[in-house]
């Protein structure tokens, strides 16, 4: 339990998850100080969470029954009751507005209840957790808790909030009635319960992906190969991955290895016949351009995808950059939101202060016909003359760390390289060799291969050799380095954190995280900001801003763009 938690919350707080629980990593009650400072903030505009104030004395079951009776058939995700106030989480922003319309101003036991939108719960809780982590690390210049909302910027919404996912993974199995089903996992292994739920009308998945899942369910039913049974470890069909972009659709069939190779070949041919023939284009409500087959004994196995037919890659465009996507390559699951995210990352790098002046901002030329007499020059002793050289503009080096297929660095280069008043170069670093090959191809396709260099290896090793990857016109010693970190969920290793801090030319870091509540992410941020020590014998960074981006509409999760500077 947090030491800063209000005693009243501990005594009176009650929390219950109803219907479909939110997947979060913590269940701590929030600090009132943060709650009050964010209730009326920008972060609440698209919230599905309501604050009810001036409530009469309710027991938890009492409150739940009153709410159900008052709001009729409305369902709630979560109820959190405190003394004289409560937080109610609905299934959508629209439902929250309806509940507010019903309850706000209602008089119960001579008390008039107020109902209004509250900031999304995960954002506040993660912010509190981050402050606690940084405090324990004895970080200098750490804002007070009531100053945190000033660092936390308003959430940027996704241009698309429905049918936005470009990657969907459907599990093959059996439903509660033991019928073959392609959809999502229900139940828990720990309860010895495992079944598949149909896709249904979930709003974040497009109609084409739903049709493909429905059609593949029919294919499995017609097949003489059964679905894979997770408990008995027998069967074949495990899952279907649909990667859907503007003009391309890639299907990846994950199977438990088939011992009979003749049956395996027959299954592959049937898939190609069903999804890659002209007949399938005419008869079905979807269009598939690429097929892959992947044998998988365990989820922890190294993945190798076998190309069955169609194109080997699919393509997507972000911020006027075209990217090649391999079957196993990472790509953001919300393309429309990615345009917003990458634009904000570029701005967080601080390049806008180095923009070339526009035509309107350029100084006007001197008029030789001006009637004003020439200014008198002050006499200067010859011995006192000094040569004053203008300050040389530092070149800019963008380090795209954990770059994957190079999408962030390439988008930033495309946006800024011709607009800046100085040289900009990008070095992309990634441990996965296949991703680097895609990054090099993407740079070439976007005519930026001379403005960046992508290298496979450990980032801390690349840092030591960075000067060898620069063009001959740039020097590492006189360049200003900006780092962009988009690490996996496990975060960054200590060696890499030390390497970043030891690079004295790096003045700014933009840390991107889709799971900011993860302990390893919190640790990374604390290690970057810790004072000098034996372990980190270099200047620390300071937390400047946190910019949330709603990359996952219809869920409580947000992506964080965190800016640090020194």
Q: What is the pLDDT of residue 306?
A: 96
Q: What is the pLDDT of residue 339?
A: 97
Three-state DSSP at 99 gives helix
Q: What is the pLDDT of residue 31?
A: 36
167-325: CATH, from 3.50.50.60, 1.20.1730.10, 2.40.50.1070, 3.40.50.11540: 2.40.50.1070
How large is the average pLDDT for residues 78-89?
A: 84
> What tokens does 102 get?
């019903």
CATH topology of domain 7-120: Alpha-Beta Plaits (3.30.70)
Q: Is the pTM of this model over 0.85?
A: no
Catalytic residue among 90, 349, 514, 529: 514
Q: What is the pLDDT of residue 335?
A: 96
Q: Which of 141-150, 222-231, 285-294, 420-429 has the lowest mean pLDDT?
A: 141-150
pLDDT confidence tier of residue 302, bands split at 50, 70 and 90: confident
Digit-coded pLDDT (tens) for 186-237: 877 777 788 999 998 888 999 999 999 999 999 999 999 999 998 889 999 9
* 263, pLDDT greater than 60: yes
Q: What is the pLDDT of residue 381?
A: 59
Digit-coded pLDDT (tens) for 140-170: 667 666 666 678 888 899 999 999 999 999 9
Q: What is the pLDDT of residue 169?
A: 96
Q: Which residues pair with 50 in a beta bridge?
A: 88, 117
Q: What is the pLDDT of residue 4?
A: 35
Q: What is the pLDDT of residue 119?
A: 65
Q: How far apart are CA 308 and CA 255, in angstroms?
A: 14
Three-state DSSP at 375 gives coil
**CB-facing half-sphere around the CA of 103: CA atoms within 13 A:** 28
- Mean pLDDT across the chain, nearest whole number? 84
Q: Which of 299-303, 366-370, 517-521 has the lowest mean pLDDT?
A: 366-370
The DSSP result for 286-314, as a single string, is ----EEEEEE-SSTTSPP-PEEEEE-S-E
pLDDT confidence tier of residue 292, bands split at 50, 70 and 90: very high
pLDDT confidence tier of residue 7, bands split at 50, 70 and 90: very low
pLDDT confidence tier of residue 30, bands split at 50, 70 and 90: very low
Q: What is the pLDDT of residue 120?
A: 61
402 is a catalytic site residue? no
Q: Select the more confidently predicted residue: 484 or 29.
A: 484
How large is the average pLDDT for residues 307-331?
A: 94
Q: What is the pLDDT of residue 17?
A: 37
Does the annotation flag 332 for ligand binding? yes
* 277, pLDDT greater than 80: yes
Q: Which of 173-177, 359-363, 435-439 has the lowest mean pLDDT?
A: 359-363
Q: Select the more confidently predicted residue: 453 or 150.
A: 453
Q: What is the pLDDT of residue 145?
A: 64
* 36, pLDDT greater than 50: no
Q: What is the pLDDT of residue 388?
A: 52
Map out the domains of the chain as residue ranges: 7-120, 167-325, 335-355+394-565
Q: Which of 136-150, 301-315, 364-378, 549-563 has the lowest mean pLDDT?
A: 364-378
Q: How far apart are CA 292 and CA 284, in angstroms?
A: 19
Q: What is the pLDDT of residue 517?
A: 82
pLDDT confidence tier of residue 245, bands split at 50, 70 and 90: very high
pLDDT confidence tier of residue 251, bands split at 50, 70 and 90: very high
How large is the average pLDDT for residues 343-349?
A: 97
335-355+394-565: CATH, from 3.40.50.150, 3.40.50.620, 3.20.20.70, 3.50.30.60: 3.40.50.150
* 8, pLDDT greater than 70: no
Three-state DSSP at 383 gives helix
Which H/E stretch holds residue 318? Answer: strand 314-318
Q: Select the more confidently predicted residue: 282 or 14.
A: 282
Task: Give percent of the chain with pLDDT exceeding 90.
Answer: 54
Q: Select the more confidently predicted residue: 47 or 60.
A: 60
* 43, pLDDT greater than 70: no
The DSSP result for 138-203, as a single string, is T-TTPPPGGGHHHHBPPPBPPS--SS-BSEEEEEEEE-TTS-EEEEEEES-GGGT--EEEE-TT-T
* 332, pLDDT greater than 80: yes
Task: Give percent of the chain with pLDDT exceeding 70.
Answer: 83
How large is the average pLDDT for residues 177-181?
A: 95
Q: What is the pLDDT of residue 315?
A: 94
- Residue 346 near residue 414, CB atoms below 8 Å: no
* 319, pLDDT greater than 90: yes
């Amino acid at each position: 339990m947090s030491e800063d938690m209000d005693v009243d919350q501990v005594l009176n707080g009650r929390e219950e998850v109803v219907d479909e629980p939110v997947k979060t990593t913590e269940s701590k009650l929030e600090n009132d100080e943060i709650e009050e400072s964010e209730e009326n903030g920008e972060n609440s505009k698209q919230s599905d969470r309501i604050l009810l104030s001036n409530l009469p004395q309710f027991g938890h079951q009492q409150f739940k029954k009153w709410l159900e009776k008052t709001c009729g058939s409305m369902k709630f995700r979560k109820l959190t009751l405190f003394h004289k106030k409560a937080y109610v989480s609905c299934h959508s922003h629209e439902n929250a507005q309806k509940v507010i319309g019903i309850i706000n101003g209602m008089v119960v036991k001579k008390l008039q209840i107020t109902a209004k939108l509250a900031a999304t719960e995960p954002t506040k809780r993660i912010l509190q957790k981050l402050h606690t982590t940084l405090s324990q690390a004895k970080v200098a210049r750490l804002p007070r808790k009531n100053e945190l909302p000033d660092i936390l910027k308003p959430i940027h919404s996704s241009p698309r909030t429905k049918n936005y996912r470009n990657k969907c993974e459907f599990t093959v199995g059996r439903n509660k009635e033991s019928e073959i089903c392609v959809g999502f996992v229900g139940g828990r292994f720990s309860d010895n319960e495992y079944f598949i739920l149909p896709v249904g009308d979930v709003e974040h998945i497009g109609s084409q992906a739903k049709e493909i899942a429905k059609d593949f369910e029919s294919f499995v039913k017609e097949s003489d190969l059964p679905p894979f049974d997770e408990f008995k470890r027998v069967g074949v069909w495990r899952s279907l991955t649909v990667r859907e972009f503007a003009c391309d659709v890639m299907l990846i069939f994950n199977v438990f290895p088939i011992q009979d190779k003749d049956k395996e070949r027959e299954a592959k041919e049937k898939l190609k016949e069903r999804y890659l023939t002209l007949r399938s284009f005419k008869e079905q409500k979807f269009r598939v351009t690429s097929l892959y087959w992947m044998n998988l004994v365990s989820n922890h196995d190294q993945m190798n995808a076998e190309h069955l037919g169609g194109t080997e890659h699919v393509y997507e465009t972000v911020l006027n950059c075209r990217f090649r996507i391999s079957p196993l390559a990472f790509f953001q699951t919300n393309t429309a939101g990615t345009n917003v995210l990458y634009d904000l990352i570029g701005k967080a790098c601080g390049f806008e202060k180095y923009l070339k002046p526009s035509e309107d901002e350029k100084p006007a030329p001197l008029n030789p016909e001006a009637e004003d007499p020439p200014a008198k020059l002050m006499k200067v002793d010859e011995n006192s003359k000094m040569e004053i050289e203008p300050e040389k503009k530092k070149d800019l080096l963008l380090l795209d760390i954990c770059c994957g297929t190079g999408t962030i660095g390439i988008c930033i280069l495309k946006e800024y390289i011709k607009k800046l008043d100085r040289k900009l170069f990008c070095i992309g670093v990634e441990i996965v060799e296949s991703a680097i090959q895609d990054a090099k191809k993407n740079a070439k396709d976007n005519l930026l291969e001379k403005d960046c260099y992508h290298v496979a290896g450990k980032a801390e090793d690349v840092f030591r050799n960075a000067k060898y990857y620069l063009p001959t016109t740039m020097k590492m010693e006189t360049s200003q380095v900006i780092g962009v970190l988009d690490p996996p969920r496990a975060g960054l290793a200590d060696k890499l954190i030390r390497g970043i801090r030891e690079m004295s030319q790096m003045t700014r870091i933009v840390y991107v995280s889709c799971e900011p509540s993860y302990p390893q992410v919190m640790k990374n941020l604390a290690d970057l900001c810790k004072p000098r020590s034996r372990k980190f014998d270099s200047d620390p960074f300071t937390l400047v801003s946190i910019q949330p981006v709603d990359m996952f509409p219809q869920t409580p999760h947000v992506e964080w763009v965190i800016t640090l500077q020194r």
